[in-house]
A and B are shown apart, each in its own frame.
Chain A
């Protein structure tokens, strides 16, 4: 190192780190730039979400002011409209059931980085398969008891959903098709198939020309699922599913395989996993669970089949899964929260005469801000001349 010091003498420009004054503002630094955060503490995460929520309420308030409504009472109405009475609470929880089931279902695929956005179609497929049985039973006057009927319907719905999950997985693993487009297109197939069913005489109420599917409850009363605490028993299943899914992902070999594939398909291949079968198997489960959500819609909520039986649940479930960071337990409160927004948006339409589009816009704003929080969990904004953290480090280095 001695000759190194000699060299330094012939480099007069070399600044000695300890003496040179610290440069705090760099010329031409952009006004705002994004820097990656280190680890984020729990408190900070909560603070980010709370800030995001408050900002959403503020922006939503601006919207409400523009259309001439009092934001405070609108927000109050949203809360009372969704949890104010026993019936409204029941209605909110009823909305949350398919969201939770579909959210858990989709997250299995998402965990594998298989972008299943066909939850809608898989729910409808389940509903369609179940409805086929219902219509068959009604039209042929088959007498069937409650339990066998329910098992039959659930089985049919699972088959339908599983089929809709299997197809994109098969094609993706065999020929590398794009699962996003594939599952999206299957949604339309399911919807248009329902539109076709509506035209069939055997599915229509007698003496109607208007395309509509009969109400199953009237001719088949044993279709109706019993209620516990005012909500059809699907909610018990949904909660059990959240626990099961958690254990499935954490404790089983299947769950382990899913997390390996989700992180690195190549590693899974190198470990000798049958990646093709694992993807197909997981999508079959994902689709089957969505199908089951469709069954609960038919037998627990709607008692008929329409193209809105899924009602966007398959898409909203993506938000549920994402907001919950794919954790099935977190999905429970998240799905209730989103159901509350939905129910609240309906409530302010009737109580405050706020147009449906504006109410939906409000829901959209809140969800947008909540999802936007994710950016700030990972990154922070650095304003010009405020690279304060680095200054501290520099001082440390110079010291």
Chain B
């Protein structure tokens, strides 16, 4: 690769005319990207816009169908991740690839050529040097399973730097961080930039783009839209580029006068199968006619809480009292010990969108009709399934929620993520619940679909349904919720009024500080 005379250029990376198809899906259509030395470039786009695919091409995970990549002006072929390393390109993926039982330092040298023995002391020193240079906080001898998500991310970044990366690709690094951790990461990124390293930040969060990057390249549906200087951009201008038209960014918060308690959780405690604490002494109430937001770093017990209420997670102690209708009378009864299908019948609906977006709640290879009847197929008598009723429901949902599908008999894995999530939320709403739990309903959705979902949740709230909204985007949670419950490490840190609380304070609570410790925050 060195035999050619490299032309003088400021661009460390140029990607020209890059195309990549997956079957008939065009993930990248003629995309361009250039990265200058010593800059932070944001790669902005909604989910499915091809950001990660483009970076996977650059880091050797995919080979492009067409196009050219130049590193320091020289055309190169990056056939596998090894080639990318050799060109000093390092990528930190969204899902970390670390060996849990190894220490930070061991993970960092893993897979590198070298002597059969490791000089741990020299290694730790070297790792510490890198950390000090950019302001990372890391203990080289800490085992990965003892680390927080943010520490694991640090290990991944140092791993790339240790291998001599000058070009660093960070794939949605802030998705799992609190506001404080995010700010710390940005400081580190600025320090690396000062050291003449080049960074590509993949993100769909606009305020981060504006906060940290020099330029921003926008992709939409696999197509290259434009590259602009951040100083000339605003949240609105970037959104418009990302979405392709002007959009409004306001989320409604209708006020409902009449609120009745629907769910009362008292001292709820759950143990994991490994007998460690998953939920510890959870106390809260959910009211009909309000949206109770639930915030927390991912893995703080959100999933366990939903599952415990839905009867899917073993409960060690405490009580879950639910006001349901028995023979037309509203009575309070305990949900503990009831089977998941009994709880569904009582009017508790759970729509949980997991990281892979399909694995819970929907069956990808079945059609919409079969997915609609997932929780109701037992209702009719007899041995055979009744597909007529769900078919009518499916057709109605397609119309009401503007679901784009060839017909209701297309396997839903062929539909786009937004439509799939509309089906999931639509099904749960259609079951006319009294308590609706939605977890990450807008995960990976484009802006338009997200707002449709917010509208649906608000409609339910106005109908008097108790809505629990577990989300990851704190800004959205603060806009839509009537009250906001903050979880950290399986404990409730406090329930605050999002209208009067600061983002910083909620961030501190997400990190494990109780509301009572914080000045000016009063529980509601």
A interface residues, Cβ below 8 angstroms from B: 1, 3-4, 7-8, 11, 13-15, 17, 20, 22-24, 26-30, 33, 35-39, 251-256, 259-260, 263-264, 266-267, 269-273, 382, 387, 389-391, 393-394, 397-398
Q: Are B366 and A26 in contact (CB under 8 A)?
A: no
In whole angstroms, how far apart are the Cα atoms of A344 and B336 in the complex? 63
* Minimum distance in angstroms from A304 CB to a CB of chain B: 39
Cβ 8 A contact of B77, one of A24, A27, A251: A27
In whole angstroms, how far apart are the Cα atoms of A22 and B30 in the complex? 10
* Minimum distance in angstroms from B366 CB to a CB of chain A: 6
Q: Are A272 and B339 in contact (CB under 8 A)?
A: yes
Which chain B residue lies CB-closest to A380? B23
B370 CB within 8 Å of chain A: yes
Q: Are B312 and A269 in contact (CB under 8 A)?
A: yes
Cβ 8 A contact of A259, one of B66, B227, B366: B366
B32 CB within 8 Å of chain A: yes
Q: Are B375 and A272 in contact (CB under 8 A)?
A: yes
Query: Given A23-B66, A253-B377, A267-B361 in contact, is the A393-B19 Cβ separation under 8 Å?
Result: yes
- B19: A residues at CB distance < 8 A: 387, 390, 393-394
Q: Are A14 and B66 in contact (CB under 8 A)?
A: no
Q: Are B32 and A14 in contact (CB under 8 A)?
A: yes
- B29: A residues at CB distance < 8 A: 393-394, 397
Which chain B residue lies CB-closest to A253? B385
* Minimum distance in angstroms from A174 CB to a CB of chain B: 14
* Minimum distance in angstroms from A272 CB to a CB of chain B: 4
List which B428-465 residues lie within 8 A (CB) of chain A: none
Q: B326-367 interface mask toward A, CB cutoff 8 Å, 1 = contact, 0 = none?
A: 000000000000011101100000101010001111111110
Q: Are A30 and B65 in contact (CB under 8 A)?
A: no
Q: Can you name 20 A-B residue pairings with CB atoms under 8 Å?
A: A4-B232, A7-B228, A13-B14, A14-B34, A14-B227, A22-B17, A26-B66, A27-B77, A28-B77, A28-B79, A36-B22, A253-B385, A260-B366, A264-B358, A264-B360, A267-B374, A271-B375, A390-B65, A391-B66, A394-B17
Q: Are A263 and B312 in contact (CB under 8 A)?
A: no
Query: Given A20-B17, A256-B385, A397-B30 in contact, is the A26-B232 Cβ separation under 8 Å?
Result: no
B504 CB within 8 Å of chain A: no
Query: Given A20-B16, A28-B77, A251-B384 in contact, is the A256-B377 Cβ separation under 8 Å?
Result: yes
Q: Are B374 and A393 in contact (CB under 8 A)?
A: no
- B17: A residues at CB distance < 8 A: 15, 17, 20, 22-23, 394
B229 CB within 8 Å of chain A: yes
B261 CB within 8 Å of chain A: no
In whole angstroms, how far apart are the Cα atoms of A292 and B180 in the complex? 66
Shortest beta-carbon contacts, A-B, top 10: A28-B77, A38-B24, A272-B341, A272-B340, A390-B65, A38-B23, A36-B23, A390-B66, A271-B374, A263-B363
* Minimum distance in angstroms from B390 CB to a CB of chain A: 11
Cβ 8 A contact of A253, one of B343, B362, B375, B378: B378
In whole angstroms, how far apart are the Cα atoms of A120 and B157 in the complex? 52
- B361: A residues at CB distance < 8 A: 267, 270-271
Q: Are A15 and B66 in contact (CB under 8 A)?
A: no
Number of interface residues of B (CB under 8 A): 64
Q: Are B68 and A252 in contact (CB under 8 A)?
A: no
- A37: B residues at CB distance < 8 A: 23
In whole angstroms, how far apart are the Cα atoms of A99 and B232 in the complex? 71
- A387: B residues at CB distance < 8 A: 19, 65-66
- A251: B residues at CB distance < 8 A: 384-385
Q: B224-257 interface mask toward A, CB cutoff 8 Å, 1 = contact, 0 = none?
A: 1011110010000100010000000000000000
- B365: A residues at CB distance < 8 A: 259, 263
B9 CB within 8 Å of chain A: yes
Which chain A residue lies CB-closest to B218? A4
Listed residue (B14, B17, B228, B375) with the most chain A CB atoms within 10 angstroms of its CB: B17
Cβ 8 A contact of A7, one of B23, B25, B227, B341: B227
By DSSP majority rule, is chain B's interface helix, strand, loop, or mixed? mixed
In whole angstroms, how far apart are the Cα atoms of A263 and B14 in the complex? 41
Q: Are B350 and A394 in contact (CB under 8 A)?
A: no
In whole angstroms, how far apart are the Cα atoms of A23 and B79 in the complex? 17
Cβ 8 A contact of A252, one of B34, B344, B384: B384
Q: Are B63 and A27 in contact (CB under 8 A)?
A: no
- A270: B residues at CB distance < 8 A: 310, 312, 340, 350, 352, 360-361
- A264: B residues at CB distance < 8 A: 358-360, 362-364
In whole angstroms, how far apart are the Cα atoms of A36 and B64 in the complex? 13
Query: Given A28-B76, A272-B344, A387-B65 in contact, is the A17-B226 Cβ separation under 8 Å?
Result: no
Cβ 8 A contact of B64, one of A7, A17, A24, A26: A26
* Minimum distance in angstroms from B391 CB to a CB of chain A: 14
Q: Are A26 and B384 in contact (CB under 8 A)?
A: no
Q: B116-143 interface mask toward A, CB cutoff 8 Å, 1 = contact, 0 = none?
A: 0000000000000000000000000000
- B314: A residues at CB distance < 8 A: none
- B16: A residues at CB distance < 8 A: 15, 20, 23
In whole angstroms, how far apart are the Cα atoms of A28 and B223 in the complex? 25
In whole angstroms, how far apart are the Cα atoms of A22 and B19 in the complex? 11
- Name 16 extra pairs, CB < 8 A, besides A39-B23, A393-B21: A3-B228, A17-B30, A26-B77, A27-B77, A36-B22, A251-B384, A253-B378, A256-B370, A256-B385, A260-B363, A260-B366, A266-B360, A271-B361, A272-B375, A397-B223, A398-B30
Listed residue (B19, B25, B311, B341) with the most chain A CB atoms within 10 angstroms of its CB: B19
* Minimum distance in angstroms from A399 CB to a CB of chain B: 11
Which chain A residue lies CB-closest to B345? A272
Query: Given A23-B16, A26-B64 in contact, is the A267-B362 Cβ separation under 8 Å?
Result: yes
Query: Given A35-B65, A264-B364 in contact, is the A253-B23 Cβ separation under 8 Å?
Result: no
In whole angstroms, how far apart are the Cα atoms of A373 and B103 in the complex? 45
In whole angstroms, how far apart are the Cα atoms of A393 and B29 in the complex? 8
Q: B61-72 interface mask toward A, CB cutoff 8 Å, 1 = contact, 0 = none?
A: 001111110000
* Minimum distance in angstroms from B239 CB to a CB of chain A: 13
In whole angstroms, how far apart are the Cα atoms of A139 and B147 in the complex? 71
B26 CB within 8 Å of chain A: yes
List which B85-117 residues lie within 8 A (CB) of chain A: none
Q: Are B30 and A394 in contact (CB under 8 A)?
A: yes
* Minimum distance in angstroms from A10 CB to a CB of chain B: 8
* Minimum distance in angstroms from B218 CB to a CB of chain A: 10
* Minimum distance in angstroms from B215 CB to a CB of chain A: 8
In whole angstroms, how far apart are the Cα atoms of A27 and B76 in the complex? 7
B11 CB within 8 Å of chain A: yes
- B373: A residues at CB distance < 8 A: 256
Q: Are A33 and B341 in contact (CB under 8 A)?
A: no
In whole angstroms, how far apart are the Cα atoms of A140 and B202 in the complex? 80
